[in-house]
C-alpha cells in the first residue's frame, strides 16, 4: 500500500505574522519528515508572508482560492467584510471557513492537516504517525457538546440543515480543535453532496448560512453520511491549548507548559491573549 501524501494548511494574516513565523520555525526544528506547508493569506499580506517561503513552505493568496464573485472591498478591509455578488456580504470569519474547505481543490496531497498560526510544535513529530494504513486520524470527542452552549449548537443546526439531516440530538460529538486531519477525497465528496442537496454551488450554499463551522460540517458529514469513511477516531487533542483572552504571567506560562501531556506535540496560545511572541518563543529552545 502506497504512503498517503500529507500537507499542513495555515490561514493567517499580517497581525499574526510573528506567530506564523514561530510555527514555521517549529516545523523546521521538530518535524521528522518533509511535507508541504501552505500558508493562505490576503493578497495585501502576500509580500510579508512570502518571506517565509521555502521549497516546502508555500504562500497562497486567499483571493486566488475564492470564486470571482467574492471580493474584498477596500472601504471594509479593516472591518474584515467581504462583498458577494450572489449572497449577502460575508464576515471574514466565514471566509476563513471557506478557505479551509476549498483549499483541497488547489493542493495535490491526499491528507490536509489544519493548524492556526498561533500553534507551534514543541517536540519531534511525524504527521505520518497519524495515518494507519488507509485510515486517517479523525478527531472526535464523544457526546461532549450540550445544547445549552448556544454558539456551538447553532453550528450543529446549520451543518444539519446544509446536509439535509434531521436536527441534531444533544449532546453531540465535538470535531473542533487544532491539528485537525481531513481526507482530500472526503472534502471533494462533501462539495458534491452539498451541491446535490442544495441545488447550487457548495460555496453559495454555505454563504447562505450565518453560522457555519468547517470542522463541524466535515465531522457531521463523515459520521452521518460517509459513516467514517477512511478515518479512525481519536479523542486526544494533539495540541495543548490556551483559549483565554487574558495574557499569562510568566509563572502561569511555565505552569501551562508543564501541563502538556507526553502525547501532545504542539501548543496553541491564542492570539486573542495578545501575548508578545517573544514571551514564549524561548519555549522552543
Give the length of the chain: 285
The residues spanned by each domain of the chain are 6-141+176-198+228-284
The answer to whether 121 touches 27, Cβ cutoff 8 Å, is yes
pLDDT at 282 (0 to 100):
80
Average pLDDT over residues 130-139: 96
Local structure of 83: helix, strand or coil: strand
Residues 146-177 pLDDT 10s: 888 888 899 999 999 999 999 999 999 999 99
pLDDT at 284 (0 to 100):
64
Residue among 115, 137, 128 nearest 38 (CA)? 115
Omega within 30 of 0 (cis) for the link into 171:
yes
pLDDT at 77 (0 to 100):
59
Q: Is the pLDDT of residue 13 over 90?
A: yes
Residues in Cβ contact with 1 at an 8 Å cutoff, skipping those fewer than 6 apart: 133, 134
Local structure of 74: helix, strand or coil: helix
pLDDT at 146 (0 to 100):
87
The fold adopted by the segment(s) 6-141+176-198+228-284 is Spore Coat Polysaccharide Biosynthesis Protein SpsA; Chain A (3.90.550)
pLDDT at 73 (0 to 100):
76
From its phi and psi, is residue 87 left (phi > 0), alpha (psi between -120 and 50) or beta? beta
Q: Is the pLDDT of residue 25 over 60?
A: yes
Average pLDDT over residues 39-66: 96
pLDDT interval class at 75 (50, 70, 90):
low
Average pLDDT over residues 139-144: 95
Please state, as a whole number, how many other Cβ atoms lie within 10 Å of the Cβ of residue 197: 16
Share of the chain above pLDDT 70, in %: 96
How high does pLDDT run on average in the chain?
Answer: 93
CA-to-CA dists, residue 116 to 7, 91, 169, angstroms: 14, 18, 30
Average pLDDT over residues 53-80: 87
Residues in Cβ contact with 186 at an 8 Å cutoff, skipping those fewer than 6 apart: 218, 221, 222, 226, 229, 230, 231
DSSP β-bridge partners for residue 174: 141
Q: Is the pLDDT of residue 79 over 70?
A: no
The answer to whether 178 touches 239, Cβ cutoff 8 Å, is yes
Please state, as a whole number, how many other Cβ atoms lie within 10 Å of the Cβ of residue 4: 17
Q: Is the pLDDT of residue 37 over 90?
A: yes
pLDDT interval class at 93 (50, 70, 90):
confident
Q: What is the DSSP letter of 122?
A: -
pLDDT at 266 (0 to 100):
96
Q: Which residue has the cell 466565514?
A: 94
Rounded CA-CA distance 39/52 in Å is 9
Residues 211-266 pLDDT 10s: 899 999 999 999 999 986 899 999 999 999 999 999 999 899 989 988 999 999 99
Amino acid at each position: 500500500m502506497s504512503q498517503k501524501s500529507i500537507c499542513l494548511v495555515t490561514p493567517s494574516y499580517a497581525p499574526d505574522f510573528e506567530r506564523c513565523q514561530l510555527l514555521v520555525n517549529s516545523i523546521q526544528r521538530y518535524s521528522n519528515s518533509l511535507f508541504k506547508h501552505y500558508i493562505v493569506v490576503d493578497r495585501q499580506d502576500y509580500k510579508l508572508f512570502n518571506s517565509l517561503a521555502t521549497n516546502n513552505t508555500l504562500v497562497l493568496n486567499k483571493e486566488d482560492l475564492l470564486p470571482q464573485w467574492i471580493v474584498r472591498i477596500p472601504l471594509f478591509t479593516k472591518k474584515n467584510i467581504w462583498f458577494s455578488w450572489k449572497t449577502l456580504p460575508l464576515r471574514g470569519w466565514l471566509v476563513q471557513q471557506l478557505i479551509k474547505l476549498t483549499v483541497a481543490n488547489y493542493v495535490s496531497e491526499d491528507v490536509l492537516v489544519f493548524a492556526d498560526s498561533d500553534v507551534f510544535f514543541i517536540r519531534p513529530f511525524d504527521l505520518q504517525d497519524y495515518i494507519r494504513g488507509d485510515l486517517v486520524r479523525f478527531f472526535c470527542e464523544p457526546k461532549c457538546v450540550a445544547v445549552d452552549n448556544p454558539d456551538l449548537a447553532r453550528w450543529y443546526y446549520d451543518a444539519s440543515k446544509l446536509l439535509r439531516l434531521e436536527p441534531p440530538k444533544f449532546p453531540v460529538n465535538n470535531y473542533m480543535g487544532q491539528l485537525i486531519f481531513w481526507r482530500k477525497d472526503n472534502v471533494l465528496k462533501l462539495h458534491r453532496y452539498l451541491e446535490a442537496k442544495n441545488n447550487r454551488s457548495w460555496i453559495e450554499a454555505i454563504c447562505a448560512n450565518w453560522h457555519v463551522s468547517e470542522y463541524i460540517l466535515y465531522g457531521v458529514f463523515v459520521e452521518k453520511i460517509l459513516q467514517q469513511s477512511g478515518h479512525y477516531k481519536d479523542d486526544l487533542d494533539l495540541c495543548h491549548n490556551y483559549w483565554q483572552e487574558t495574557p499569562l504571567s510568566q509563572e502561569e506560562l511555565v505552569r501551562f507548559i508543564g501541563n502538556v501531556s507526553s502525547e501532545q506535540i504542539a501548543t496553541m496560545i491564542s492570539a486573542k491573549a495578545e501575548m508578545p511572541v517573544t514571551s514564549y518563543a524561548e519555549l522552543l529552545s
